Amino acid sequence: MDHFALKHGVLHAEDVPLTAIADAVGTPVYVYSRATLERHARVFAEAVAGVGPHHIAFAVKANPNLAVLRVLARAGYGADVVSQGEMRRALAAGMDPAGIVFSGVGKTRGELEAGLRAGIGQFNLELEEEGVVLGEIASGFGVRAPATLRVNPDVDAGTHAKISTGRAENKFGVPISDAPAMFDRLARVDGLNLRGVAVHIGSQLADLAPLESAYRRVGELVGALRAAGHVISHVDLGGGLGVPYRPGDVLPTPAEFGAMVERVTRGWDVTLMFEPGRVIAGNAGVLLTRVIWVKPGVARPYVIVDAAMNDLARPALYEAYHDFAAVEPNGATFAANIAGPVCESGDTFAMGRVIDCVGNGDLGVLRTAGAYGATMASTYNSRALVPEVLVDGDRFAVVADRIEPATILAAERVPEWLK
Ligand code: LLP
């Protein structure tokens, strides 16, 4: 459930008409609802409340906006970060360093050092050498780095190939069959407190079965590691829960996920960690855009909007579906293509879809854009970097400025020898 709804014929974010945001900030602009973020954070927390000791770390990559992270910090969430930049954001939002998990398949030495200096709560190791380097740096600092070994359970998550991470051929984690021997070696590394295992098999999972089989494999591994004399106190179960993008989509609910986790992990006697991203932020945001032209097309008209693939990359990258709705619908619909102004034929948000009837100058939204939306935006075609707004009841604030092409141009220069 989200807080974007029609009131008196105008689409609102909570109590703010989207027309007011378009007037004040311009378009395109991402609009987030604080009440929706808080609701999703609460629903997920309640869903896993029964699993015993646990920690929830929001996957910052899904939505790294400082104000969004602040909302989640206040809801008691930690953060899952994959770069020093994300770590900085989580800390700037007031998150406790101890509640931050550092994931990522290519952490640099500089990032490991920065993480240790900041007192990051856990490093999820992606390969053996990384553990050796982390231990070495930690020893130099006179500390022991809390860490888990991320395993690749070779499970097909059944999601889009580009967001699948748990199959053997993916770059993530170490083969689960190699984990026991690797764990033996890493457990002896000075400066490393290797305390558990981590797993994450993919994103936008529409089915709990692959997660369940991955978790069962991890459970067997935990048993084997303990039998070999290791102390296992933490298991990180990653993220991946999908959200409905299309009207009528039925996905596993957080409550069903929580019940599955409770069933599968019973008796593990560890602190469980979760890294949800999309399920918290996805339906808490829309991309507000204005129709520039309705242009005649061969089969059907093109609705050319002022948002493009540089603002919301998911349709172009993953053929992702984002629902379109008019901000002031008149009740009529028509079959159309929705496209942005970027000079690529792939810059489309929908082809041949029946949508609310819109004309030149009308406002519309692409829904479910709160996760992997603004964070993946670029300035391709020398367009502005899209701004972000957070709504709270009847007030709203710009929480990320529109970065104009002139600002970006000012950071470039022609060298003397080319003048
Ligand atoms: N933990 C790890 C280690 C991850 O790699 C990810 C996502 C998450 C947690 C959060 O997953 P979530 O709960 O959001 O599914 N840009 C793509 C999604 C990439 C996901 C990458 N990893 C998209 O727009 O669909």
Closest ligand 1 atom, residue 124 Cα:
3
Q: Which element (helix H / strand E) includes 153?
A: none
| Ligand 1 contacts CB of residue 126 (under 6 A) | no
The tokens describing 315, both together, are: 């349709």
Q: How far apart are the first and last CA of the chain?
A: 57
Q: In what order do the strands lie in the sheet with 16-17?
A: 4-7, 10-13, 16-17
278: left (phi over 0), alpha (psi -120 to 50) or beta: alpha
Rounded distance from Cα 160 to ligand 1 centre (Å): 12
Rounded distance from Cα 240 to ligand 1 centre (Å): 6
Which stretches of 141-266 are assigned E, i.e. beta strand? Answer: 145-152, 174-175, 192-198, 234-236
Catalytic position from the list 343, 410, 411, 414? 343
Q: 86, 102, 203, 309: which to mutate for ligand 1, most atoms within 8 A of CB?
A: 203
Q: What are the tens digits of pLDDT across the range 23-78?
A: 999 999 999 999 999 999 999 999 999 999 999 999 999 999 999 999 999 999 99
Write the DSSP symbol of residue 383: P
Q: Whose CA is nearest to atom 19 of ligand 1?
A: 163
* Confidence band, pLDDT 50/70/90 cuts, at residue 84: very high
- Residue 411 has, within 13 A of its CA and on its CB side, a CA count of 5
Write the DSSP symbol of residue 265: H
* Confidence band, pLDDT 50/70/90 cuts, at residue 169: confident
Residue 344 marked ligand-binding: yes
Q: Which residue carries 């459930």 as its tokens?
A: 1
Write down the number of H helices and E strands in the chain. 12, 21
Question: Residue 223 corresponds to which amino acid?
Answer: G
Q: Decide if 155 contacts 210 (C-beta within 8 A).
A: yes
Q: For the chain, which domains are there?
A: 4-32+283-409 (2.40.37.10), 34-281 (3.20.20.10)
Q: How many Cβ atoms sit within 10 Å of the Cβ of residue 39?
A: 18
Write the DSSP symbol of residue 164: B
Confidence (pLDDT) at 382:
98
Q: Whose CA is nearest to atom 8 of ligand 1?
A: 239
| Ligand 1 contacts CB of residue 204 (under 6 A) | yes
Smallest CA-to-CA distance from 372 within 245, 188, 216, 235 is with 245
* Alpha-carbon dihedral angle through residues 201, 44, 375, 244, given to the nearest 10 degrees: 80
| Ligand 1 contacts CB of residue 258 (under 6 A) | no
Confidence (pLDDT) at 166:
83
Q: Which residue carries 């004309």 as its tokens?
A: 359
Q: Which residue carries 């609705």 as its tokens?
A: 303
| Ligand 1 contacts CB of residue 236 (under 6 A) | no
Exposure pattern of 379-410 as b/e (b: 16+ CB <10 Å)? beeebbbbbbbbbbeeebeebbebeeeeeeee
| ipTM for the assembly | 0.99
Q: What are the tens digits of pLDDT across the range 288-337?
A: 999 999 999 999 999 999 999 999 999 999 999 999 999 999 999 999 99
Q: DSSP 3-state helix, strand, coil percentages of the chain (rounded to 5)?
A: 35, 25, 40
Confidence (pLDDT) at 249:
95
Contacts (Cβ under 8 Å, ≥6 apart) of 106: 126
Question: Active-site residue 343, yes or no?
Answer: yes
Q: What are the tens digits of pLDDT across the range 176-200?
A: 999 999 999 999 999 999 999 999 9
Rounded distance from Cα 218 to ligand 1 centre (Å): 19
What is the pTM (predicted TM-score) of this model? 0.97
Q: Could you tell me how many residues make up the chain?
A: 419
Closest ligand 1 atom, residue 376 Cα:
16
- For residues 199-228, average pLDDT: 97
* Confidence band, pLDDT 50/70/90 cuts, at residue 160: confident
Q: Whose CA is nearest to atom 5 of ligand 1?
A: 200
| Ligand 1 contacts CB of residue 150 (under 6 A) | no
Closest ligand 1 atom, residue 104 Cα:
3
Q: How many Cβ atoms sit within 10 Å of the Cβ of residue 298?
A: 6
Rounded distance from Cα 313 to ligand 1 centre (Å): 15
9: left (phi over 0), alpha (psi -120 to 50) or beta: left
Residues facing residue 233 across a β-bridge = none
**C-alpha span between 120 and 99 (Å, rounded):** 7
Q: Decide if 359 contacts 332 (C-beta within 8 A).
A: no
Q: Decide if 390 contacts 367 (C-beta within 8 A).
A: no
Rounded distance from Cα 171 to ligand 1 centre (Å): 14
Write the DSSP symbol of residue 395: E
